[in-house]
Amino acid sequence: MRFKLLPCVLVLLFTLGACSSSGDIDSDSFKLGLILVGPQNDHGWSQAHFEGASYAVNKTGGELITIDKVNPADSPNVTVPQIVDDMISQGANLIVATSDDMKDGVLEAAAAHPDTPMIWASGDTAWSDGEDYRSDLKSLGNVMGKMEYGKMIAGCAAALQSDTGNISYLGPLINAETRRLVSSTYLGAKYCWETVKGKSVSDLKFKVTWIGFWFNIPGVTQDPTVVVNDFIASGSDVIISGIDTTEAIVVAGQAADSGKAVWAIPYDYEGACSEAAAVCLGVPYFNWGPSYHKIAKTVIDGNFKASFEWIGPDWDDMNNHDSSAIGFMKGDGLTSDNSKSLDEFIEKLAKGDLNLWKGPLNYQDGSAFLPDGKEASDKDIWYLSMLLEGIEGASTTE
């Protein structure tokens, strides 16, 4: 299956077989256990999951059991298997682990509880063609939104609004997921800088700085506030966030208040622009509700199957809370003209008239990624091993 840009929700579904759950569950007694890496009110990644799981429970009935701040800084002595054991003892019928950082724990928990349906949001263990496929874990499925679309839109918005062509990306840690999201952002920025604005790519500077985790851990990561201030001091006029929290837009708002011409694009959560609305160009966000609702229904009906799903926007209305896994909410900082140009860009993506993941594309070191005319496959994108040419910043931790 190719990473085609089609006017529909894109879903990869690879079935492992039904989990051996016991019959139907009364919806009023259904319990969904949600494990969050950050606080449930972070205005970012964790809040998006919390609101998505809340949507699912409100639709199906039942109860939401939530444990947040499951990370090395906030919960150094708590493990995912311990949390799963506790949730199952409380009657959880479905458990959702929501971070790449939870990989080892959720794999252990799934092996220990083969009859309890589980979802690992962002993993690929249920992808039969994936590199980390685990055919033995028949209770563990994967769900991820195709945020690559949201990031391409974010990159386009940044390029349209930028006066300097100096765009900075606040990155979390380095892995295949973050490489493909940074690269998607760059592809959107490059297209709109060249094709829409008619400027030379040689005048576009696109830099990523990685802080080392999904959010700030004092003494462990780089401080994102310091990194964003450095971006602004170096002349960047658009800051794009790839971390779970809101430092990029908060600092940009503070800089704008002091008279600087700077804008920001936060991440993950639909309401993130509220942190500094005047400088927000928009936010690409995850809408986990429809996926979690669908999965919860299969558990209640006794039809859960462990599958891998990588889901794109509902192009009929990408901000439809009942249908679209990926959305983009425009911000107050985007000018009227740039808003119209962004709509035209989105329409090209929706109609399939524009595929930015198509050769010729090179890796950052100049070696070939895709030859001229070749479209990237889902595996090419999912397992991207290096940033693309034109991006400044590290591709690995080495």
Q: What is the mean predicted confidence (pLDDT) over 193-200?
A: 97
Domain positions in the chain are: 27-147+287-311, 148-284+328-392
For residues 66-88, give the mean pLDDT.
95
Q: Can you tell me the mean pLDDT for 304-314?
A: 97
Q: Which residues, 6 or more positions from 219, have their beta carbon under 8 angstroms from its beta carbon?
A: none
- pLDDT, position 111: 98
Confidence band (pLDDT; 50, 70, 90) for 23?
low
For the domain covering 27-147+287-311, report its CATH number. 3.40.50.2300
- pLDDT band at residue 14, thresholds of 50, 70 and 90? very low
Average pLDDT on 249-254 reads: 98
Over the chain, what is the mean pLDDT? 93
Q: 211 CB contacts (<8 Å, ≥6 apart)?
A: 170, 171, 172, 173, 221, 222, 223, 224, 227, 243
> What pLDDT was estimated at residue 16?
39
In this structure, how many other beta carbons lie within 10 angstroms of the beta carbon of residue 370? 18
> What Cα–Cα distance (Å) separates residue 376 from each residue in 245, 276, 358?
30, 36, 6
Percent residues over pLDDT 90 in the chain: 91
For residue 389, pLDDT beyond 70: yes
Out of 16-30, 43-57, 132-146, 196-210, pick the least confident. 16-30
Looking at the predicted structure, is the pLDDT value of residue 5 above 50? Answer: no
Q: How far apart are the first and last CA of the chain?
A: 32
d(CA 46, CA 77): 20
Can you tell me the distance from the alpha carbon of 246 to that of 276, in angstroms, rounded to the nearest whole number? 10
Fold exhibited by the domain 148-284+328-392: Rossmann fold (3.40.50)
Residue 118 confidence (pLDDT) above 60: yes
Instruction: Tell me the per-residue pLDDT of 134-187, one tens digit each, with 9 for 90 and over.
Output: 999 999 999 999 999 999 999 999 999 999 999 999 999 999 999 999 999 999
pLDDT surpassing 90 at residue 4: no
The whole-number pLDDT of residue 11 equals: 36
Structure tokens at 54: 């809340």
Residue 242: is its pLDDT beyond 70? yes
At 257-268, the pLDDT tens digits run 999 999 999 999
